[in-house]
Amino acid sequence: MFKRIVNDIDSVFARDPAARSRLEVVLCYPGVHAVILYRISNWLWRNGIKFPGRLISYIARFLTGIEIHPGATIGHRFFIDHGMGVVIGETATIGDDVTIYHDVTLGGTSLTAGPRHPQVGNNVIIGAGAQLLGPIKIGDNARIGSNAVVVKDVDPDTTVVGIPARPVAEKTPPEIKDGHFVAYATPKDDETDPTMALLEQMRHQLEQLTGRVAELEVENADLAGSADKWENK
């Protein structure tokens, strides 16, 4: 558990340029505080000491504004940036090297036994305000754009944005774009905006239709000219 906590702390430097020292990260990052307290509460939970584990998770929520159920399963080098308003449910699973921003919810949508919360793969980035609901699967290297509402599975290496979340064209792993980490998992160019992509598709179709109409007008004029010739004869 101690090694995981150290890895969690060190992972901050690769994803937040504002981090200057381990001391600063340990003392001033509520996301790190929440993860440390989660590691403790999760160990207690898994060893059958459930009430103290639940109590520690409540204390973490009170101190940081981040709510992580001690029953959730979270991998190595997990980073919550800013963090206020993050909610991670009991049956959620999160892989290694995952980054989550503030106001993100990994919520359940049913009362049935078994997995009720999202199952998140490795190297995933979830942007601020995103809502992931139900036992959906988020593939490795996926990116969830800010304020997206995700209710269906997301394929690996895929970026989704919008309400409801929809895939966009870009298929680049989240930590390999121009050689640096992509903050907030939100595309920054028009090509990865699904609305712009749809408008571009409509523009292309309109050009095709306009060209076809022009061809038909020429054909119609030729037919009208031929008809006039026959009438004159």
Q: How far apart are CA 100 and CA 176, in angstroms?
A: 17
Q: How far apart are CA 53 and CA 69, in angstroms?
A: 9
CB-based burial label for 50 (10 Å; 0-12, 13-18, 19+) = middle
Pair (103, 177) in one structural domain: yes
Tokens 């004029």, located at residue: 221
- The DSSP code for 135 is S
Terminal CA-CA length for the chain: 99
Query: What pLDDT, on the 0 to 100 scale, is given for residue 122?
Result: 93
Q: Is the dihedral of CA 163, 167, 168, 172 positive or negative?
A: positive
Which secondary structure element, helix H or strand E, spans residue 83, and what is its range? none
Whether the model clears a pTM of 0.85, i.e. scores above it, the answer is no
Pair (9, 110) in one structural domain: yes
Pair (155, 178) in one structural domain: yes
Q: Is the dihedral of CA 21, 24, 30, 36 positive or negative?
A: positive
Pair (232, 118) in one structural domain: no
DSSP 33-82: HHHHHHHHHHHHHHTT-HHHHHHHHHHHHHHHS-EE-TT-EE-SS-EESS
Provide the domain limits for residue 108.
Answer: 2-186
Pair (213, 114) in one structural domain: no
Pair (147, 231) in one structural domain: no
- The DSSP code for 90 is T
pLDDT in tens, 51-93: 999 999 999 999 999 999 999 999 998 989 888 899 999 999 9
The per-residue pLDDT of the chain, averaged, comes to 82
Tokens 């800013």, located at residue: 82
Q: How far apart are CA 38 and CA 71, in angstroms?
A: 9
Pair (84, 6) in one structural domain: yes
pLDDT in tens, 142-195: 999 888 899 999 999 888 888 888 888 555 555 445 445 666 666 555 555 556
Pair (44, 136) in one structural domain: yes
Contact call for residues 15 and 81 (beta carbons, < 8 A): yes
Pair (9, 120) in one structural domain: yes
Residue (of 176, 167, 177, 81) closest to 129 by Cα position:
81
